[in-house]
Structure formats: C-alpha cells, structure tokens
C-alpha cells in the first residue's frame, strides 16, 4: 500500500504529501523517539501524537514512510516547514493510535 492510498481509501487527511507514492510495509505506534528509532522498521507508517521538529528528524533518519498524527494531534509550524523541506509525508486522523494502526495494518 502506498501513502496516497491512506488518503484515497482509508479516510486519512493530508497534512503534507512529500512523497505520496512511497510504499508502506509495516505499522509502528509510539511517542518516545528513541523507542521508535530502536523498533520501527524502515518504510513503516509511524503513528504518534508527537508533532514537533524531532519527530520529523526521526522520520527522515529512520526511513519512516509516513508520520500519522493520531487524534488530530497538532504539528507545530517549524516542524511542518521542515517536513516540506525534507519531503516527509504527514497525515492526520481523528482516530486514536490503536484504531488508526489497525486500519492501516488491515490495508497492508
């Protein structure tokens, strides 16, 4: 499944599409950045409520396919700017992390 399919088929909302054709191969849920870097696989969809500069850096460095902001968690403007510069995919949903993760996982 591609990042753009989350928007087209699963009801996720676009915050920034840096690379909509990027493939998603797994899902990981956590807000602690070192846990994400330690456990999330490359090309995963990462579900979090952490919308700051550091989350964008983690997505870039750990080869995360897309950041999914659960419960419509906000992203600060500096982070969004950085995501645009670096071509990072960011989506949001009103669903809690667990439900969002299930939804994506069922679509893989």
> Residues interacting with another protein, by CB under 8 A?
31-35, 37-38, 42, 50, 52-55, 57-58, 60-63, 78, 86
Beta carbon nearer to another protein, 5 or 31: 31
- Least separation in angstroms between residue 10's CB and another protein is 25
Beta carbon nearer to another protein, 32 or 102: 32
- Least separation in angstroms between residue 33's CB and another protein is 4
Sorted by sequence, the CB contacts under 8 Å of residue 43 that are 6+ apart come out as: 22, 23, 24, 25, 26, 63, 64, 65
- Least separation in angstroms between residue 28's CB and another protein is 14
Sorted by sequence, the CB contacts under 8 Å of residue 19 that are 6+ apart come out as: 3, 87, 89
Q: Which helix (H) or strand (E) holds 14?
A: strand 13-16
Beta carbon nearer to another protein, 38 or 74: 38
Q: Which helix (H) or strand (E) holds 15?
A: strand 13-16
């Amino acid at each position: 499944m591609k990042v753009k399919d989350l928007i087209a088929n699963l009801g996720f909302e676009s915050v920034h599409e840096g690379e909509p054709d990027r493939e998603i191969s797994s899902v990981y849920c956590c807000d602690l950045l070192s846990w994400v870097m330690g456990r999330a696989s490359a090309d995963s969809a990462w579900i979090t409520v952490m919308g700051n500069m550091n989350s964008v850096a983690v997505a870039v460095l750990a080869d995360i396919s897309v950041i999914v902001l659960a419960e419509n968690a906000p992203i600060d403007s500096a982070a969004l700017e950085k995501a645009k510069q670096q071509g990072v995919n960011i989506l949001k949903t009103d669903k809690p992390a667990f439900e969002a993760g299930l939804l994506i996982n069922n679509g893989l």
